[in-house]
Copies of this chain bind each other. A is one copy, B any other.
């Protein structure tokens, strides 16, 4: 029986002192697409419309990085260390080539991963993310919402999520609620919420990532893989101009910006994003 987002069992693999939680589904052959998750997110925070959609013609791997949700250990306080752990995870699975989809802080990690092990990476998708030393959020509500925690679930609530990931328009908010429904379809073997330690360490890491280190954006020239950069035109967390900057400085990056959309634009337009992603991955 072949698995899908809602049914793939959580598996574990050991590397670098961490017991990594992951799920694998999709086809048996082909270059696997490894998903790298946003701030505080775990295995259950992806959109099944997108994971299952892309699993139609490739293996898809979701995982929790060190210390995050169902994985053991502590979350480190730098993006580069997160990249190290992600590389160790991919090696532990015995993979020699992967595609990466990094969303938000996961996009930072995907860049660090690619700079560390360029030969492991075939293609890169960077969603709602930006370069090291990019433009910080100027949104007044962002810090409050980003750290808000529902006492029952230990996760951020729907209101914070809709504010941070979608535009204020009724259409975008409705798309956000539809995504929220899709995201909660899995009822068995669900992942743990991330800990307060993970939240704090990821905050430290993202603060440090926003500092300019050496010549601004210079490291991007070493990411030569074909890259697809995606965002909404109104991202209040990782301002949209950062996606533009990525596409200006990466040697081989296509940029797609969706209208009337925020940080989670791929969840607002899942079918269009799937079509664009397939064109990119399969070309």
Contacts and interface: CB of A to CB of B under 8 A. Distances in A.
Interface in A248-283: 248, 250-260, 272, 275-276, 279, 283
A272 B281 CA distance: 12
A247 interface: yes
A256 B254 contact: yes
Nearest to A278: B275
Q: Is the interface of A mostly helix, strand, loop or mixed?
A: mixed
A124 to B, nearest CB: 12
How many copies of this protein are present in the complex? 2
Nearest to A280: B272
B251 A257 contact: no
A233 interface: yes
Most chain B CB atoms below 10 A, which of A233, A240, A260: A233
B258 A233 contact: no
A253 B260 CA distance: 8
A72 to B, nearest CB: 39
A266 to B, nearest CB: 13
A283 B279 contact: no
A233 B257 CA distance: 14
Contacts of A253: 233, 259
Contact of A276 (B233, B247, B279): B279
Given A254-B257, A255-B256, A259-B254, A247 B233 contact: yes
